[in-house]
Structure 1
């Protein structure tokens, strides 16, 4: 069975986006944190996206290495992003590109099917999609990059749950700027 990992940047008060879907609270990551996220992406065999995160990522990374000031790590991330197999869950998009396929149906059923298949770890991004997977008990690992800022509201990282989910802390790392990345596994 494949492992499903949910990881994102968030404010100390638990939001991945401030009101108005503003994700700029995190600012540009330090080179060390960017390398961490690059390694995270490279360790995945498949990335699952909700519509909003897909639109954010696909608006930049297809040509990410052509942006002014792009360094070697960003260029590598862009190449990896384009090459990585992706599944986009949306009922409103008509098409997706860049080695992605669109799923309009039951996200939980499709994620369950993908987890049961062969292959390496899968990552999931986007609060709504990850929230559905969380409530269905499908997430095996959480990677939380916490920034030292309070945004006061917005899109929460963790979904409202019907029951407790107990976790084991696997690792904690501190990065420049006071960003703390904690990795937890779901107790089964």
Structure 2
């Protein structure tokens, strides 16, 4: 069975964006040793524009063949006139307001996203499924998340969009690893406790 991995950037206090979902203040940390590591380990989690800019447009996918994101996360690409931001992956967007996909590589799921994720996880294949964000879809899919990869940036937001837009529910994960970078970024890997 394939894994659903929530690979996400957040502040020290666990927010993936400000109250409006803007996380652009975190972009300042995408450089140096950290960026070189990220390019090598997670090239599939970079949008096509970034892959092209850094010369890895044709890099092979190492971990994922599918990306899932909510409408708010997907809207960032649409606003930049990029209707298929992760064209090297199968793109699935959960949305109750988008009725038609603006690009042939994008599948819109207007109904049961949990059921669709279960179908994806049951497919044969060596590569996994990346949950890109945002908060609401992560909350809806919390019970399906097999792995968390949390990129914590050295900032405190104080308030904003939480990693999981859910009500209170305790879900246990086991810490599998930690990597720290000179710029203050810390990456942690967790697997779901079964």
TM-score normalised per structure 2: 0.78
Alignment deviations for residues 24-74 of structure 1 (CA, whole Å, 9 cap, x no partner): 2212312433344443223201111111111224545949xxxxxxxxxxx
SS at 1:82's partner residue?
coil
What is the match of residue 82 of structure 1? 87
Structure 2 residue 111 is matched with structure 1 residue 105: yes
Q: How does 1:150-161 map to 2 (within 5 A)?
A: 150-160=156-166
Gaps of 5+ in 2: 45-60
Structure 1 residue 165: Cα displacement:
1.8
* Within-5 A mapping of 1:110-129: 110-119=116-125, 120-125=127-132, 126-129=134-137
Matched, 1:132 2:135: no
Q: How many residues align?
A: 170
> In the TM superposition, what is the alpha-carbon distance from 1:83 to its structure 2 partner?
2.0
Equivalent residues of 1:14, 1:158 under 8 A apart = no
Contact 1:62 1:82 in 2 (8 A): no
- By how many angstroms is 1:95 displaced? 2.0
Query: Structure 1 or 2: larger helix share?
Result: 1
Distance in 2 between residues matched to 1:61 and 1:175, nearest whole Å = 33
**CA distances 1:97-135 after superposition (whole Å, capped 9, x unpaired):** 26221111111111122112222210012211111000x
* Distance in 1 (alpha carbons) for counterparts of 2:27 and 2:156: 14
Q: How much does 1:158 deviate? A: 2.9
Question: Which residue of the partner structure matches residue 33 of structure 2?
Answer: 32
**Using a 3 Å threshold, how does the CA distance of structure 1 residues 91 and 158 change in structure 2: closer, same or farther?**
closer
Residue 65 of structure 2 corresponds to: 45
1:182–1:60: structure 2 CA closer, same or farther, 3 Å change rule? farther
Q: Does the C-alpha gap of structure 1 residues 104 and 127 become closer, same or farther in structure 2, counting only changes over 3 Å?
A: same
User: Structure 1-normalised TM-score?
Assistant: 0.80
Query: For the residues of structure 2 that align with 1:89 and 1:158, how far apart are their CA atoms?
Result: 15
